[in-house]
Amino acid sequence: MSVKEVKIAAAQYAPKHAQPDVNLAAALDLITQASRAGAALLVLPECCLTGYRFADAAALRTVAEQRGSARLARLADAAAVAGITVVAGIAEREGPLLFDSAVVLQPHAAPAYYRKIHLWGAEREIFSAGDTPMVVPTPVGKVGLSICYDLWFPELSRALALQGADIIASPANWAGNPRMVQVLDSQGQAMGFHLARTTACVNEVAVVAADRIGQEQTTRYLGNSCIVSSAGEVLAGPAPFDETTLIVAEVELASRDDLQSHIKSRRPDVYARYRGAGE
């Protein structure tokens, strides 16, 4: 089995609400830190340039990024100078529409944009949903994109694995689940962390989740950023729920030629008989 080793980083911090220039400076500093740590890939949290909680679309629209904006150009230039691939969660504006997006910035390539497919709660009142799973070839490997709530849908993660993703990068703003009394379990771990680990194991892809911390309005974010191997082993994290940190890990990206591969063991002929009425 051929194996490629790469060093990956995830940044956990608290973006400032509606202060994109302040948040840009923080992101640029993190790119430098990750590069100095030897990372070839850095994942930043969801909505890392704007913050997340806005009263309405009009309020977010004033600070959201358009493709090719000066701030995104500065992020791309920094990634190129550092020789690192960056996945950053952003609020994207296109005409009257807003998208919860992730942009992939890498040296010698045009930016690639993924728009969050599964919108959570009040997000539906502000953002339009994307409809295209995305795997981006990078110098690190094939990177699949999944933003926060997307990770709750195994269909998307499996689609990314079937498209050949080596890594799933997940910018996140994990917060409480209204069905759960306690948002962290007895080990201080968030549901998002458990889903990241499960996603990695069942799809045999590395998963990098960069969650934010802090509080906006009444929303408290949970941290627990992590880097998980394709075997489901936790290589870095889960980071504490209230700690600013950059986690880094060496990750092995193995080919799926193992006879015990979960992907090869699938039975789509059986699953097809039990699809729900809405599929």
Q: Which of 112, 141, 126 is nearest to 64 (CA)?
A: 126
Give the separation between CA 93 and CA 100, rounded to whole angstroms: 9
DSSP calls for 191-226 = HHHHHHHHHHHHHT-EEEEEE--SEETTEE-----E
Catalytic residue among 116, 123, 216, 226: 116
Contacts of 180 (CB under 8 A, 6+ apart): 191
Q: Would you call 7 a catalytic residue per the annotation?
A: no
Residue whose structure tokens are 């498209």: 163
Residue whose structure tokens are 């004033």: 62
CB 241 within 8 A of CB 7: no
Residue 164, Ramachandran bin (φ over 0: left; ψ between -120 and 50: alpha; else beta): left
How many C-beta atoms lie closer than 10 Å to residue 159's C-beta? 18
Q: Would you call 226 a catalytic residue per the annotation?
A: no
How many C-beta atoms lie closer than 10 Å to residue 146's C-beta? 31
Catalytic residue among 148, 204, 216, 226: 148
CB 200 within 8 A of CB 249: no
Catalytic residue among 46, 65, 92, 123: 46
Phi, psi of 215 (to 5 degrees): -140, 140
How many C-beta atoms lie closer than 10 Å to residue 189's C-beta? 18
Q: Just list the catalytic residues.
A: 46, 116, 148
